[in-house]
Amino acid sequence: MSFPTPVGGTLLQNDFAPSILFAVLYALLIPLMVYRAWDKRSRTLLLLGTAIFGIERVVIFSLRAAQSQNEDQRESKGLLTYMQVSFGMGFIGIANDLVNLVRVLLVNPTYGSDRYGECSAAIPKSDTSLSSDDSPLTRPHVGDFPGQPPDETPDHPRQRFWARRFSDFTNLSFLAAIVPGVIANSRFSSVIDDDDAAEHTTTLRYVSSGVALFLMAMLAGGASWAQVKQARVSKSGVSMMFALTFLLSVIAVYRLSVMFNTTSSITSTEPGSLNSTGAKTTFYVLHVLPEWLANTLLFGFNIRRMYGTGMFGDWRNEDETEEERKKREMKELKKAEKKRRKQDAARVTSDGPADSETSQLVPV
């Protein structure tokens, strides 16, 4: 009896070195992730899922290294299922995070000078730490989101509306990749002894990767439209989106090209088992390496500055009403005033001892 070959094959001794390598490479990204979360100028929640994925990769490659050296663990159905779920859904999770980046990429350039305060890239009046000359938005790198538009820049509410609907549709459509992928890979251990389960799993795996590839093409298409139609779009953000969707598409194409293989045993080295040295090399180069490169790009560059994401991205479903705008501005002014008072109080406290010493030196 044959069954679908697990993507990446079974963990053998020749998996030890690449597993250690990628465990180290992902571990080296963790300090960078921590820095991005700590630094207010680069902090954004839009990459939270990708950060969790990066940490999980340290765990999975450590497990792969251990499993490659332990013959008993090689046939563990639990570990087999976990690895198939992780590799099957990891790149889709990163792609899903890109939807929010495409949203701010398309929405931010539509704001005119009168409504720019609603933009995710706008600096709140209370956030004086981002309003200095070193602000990522007041002094953007060449090609980054240009920030505050010049006076009398026209507003484009219709573009903004359709950009949000596009991202809503794409975000929802990712369920068509995630749900089949989770179902197929989470029950992978059952395909070894069940022909019906094997056929069902094969179909769902193809659906998951195929839909993911189509949606990544949509994201790249959205970035292409912005590059042509929006004068104030982040040029570097568009280039970054092209690079990320290309890397993730390589993974989807690789999976679609190998998932037809079947094997009679998870430890077999027969053709189609994906356990040969060449098949393993191809897996690490076309599946694992693009994932790591995508993570490196997302945390190696200041995505908040490049796209103008702010902390939460473009979270609005529709534009502010006049009443909502007044409430927001009043709240920002109150926060700014409160922060100013704290800074003044801290300054008086720090200057107090010096003033006291000076007064003692003044002759009566």
Tokens 């926060």 belong to which residue? 335
Residue 294: closest CA among 24, 50, 46: 50
Q: Which of left, alpha, beta for 302 (phi over 0: left; psi -120 to 50: alpha)?
A: beta
pLDDT at 131: 43
Q: Which two tokens stand for residue 321?
A: 């009403």
Q: Which of left, alpha, beta for 294 (phi over 0: left; psi -120 to 50: alpha)?
A: alpha
What does pTM read for this prediction?
Answer: 0.87
The answer to whether 113 and 153 have CB atoms below 8 angstroms apart is yes
DSSP state of 263: E
Residue ranges of the alpha helices (H) in 108-194? 157-173, 175-186
108 CB neighbour count, 10 Å cutoff: 31
φ, ψ dihedrals at 4, nearest 5° = -60, 135
Tokens 């659906």 belong to which residue? 207
The answer to whether 52 and 60 have CB atoms below 8 angstroms apart is no
Distance of CA 48 to the CA centre of its chain: 7
Q: From CA 216, how far away is CA 212, in angstroms rounded?
A: 6
pLDDT at 162: 96
Positive/negative CA dihedral, 186, 57, 100, 96: negative
pLDDT at 124: 60
Q: From CA 145, how far away is CA 310, in angstroms rounded?
A: 12
Element (H, E) at 3: strand 3-4
Per-residue pLDDT of the chain (364 residues; tens, 9 = 90+): 688 999 999 888 999 999 999 999 999 999 999 999 999 999 999 999 999 999 999 999 999 999 999 887 887 888 999 999 999 999 999 999 999 999 999 999 999 988 888 888 886 654 545 443 333 333 455 567 777 888 888 999 999 999 999 999 999 999 999 999 999 999 888 888 788 888 899 999 999 999 999 999 999 999 999 999 999 999 999 999 999 999 999 999 999 999 999 998 888 888 889 999 999 999 999 999 999 999 999 999 999 999 999 999 999 888 887 787 778 778 877 877 777 777 777 777 776 655 545 545 555 4
Element (H, E) at 25: helix 16-38
68 CB neighbour count, 10 Å cutoff: 21
User: CB under 8 Å to 183, separation ≥6 — which residues?
Assistant: 204
Q: Which two tokens stand for residue 179?
A: 């749900």
pLDDT at 259: 95
The answer to whether 219 and 100 have CB atoms below 8 angstroms apart is no
pLDDT at 39: 93
pLDDT at 189: 83
pLDDT at 135: 39
pLDDT at 327: 83
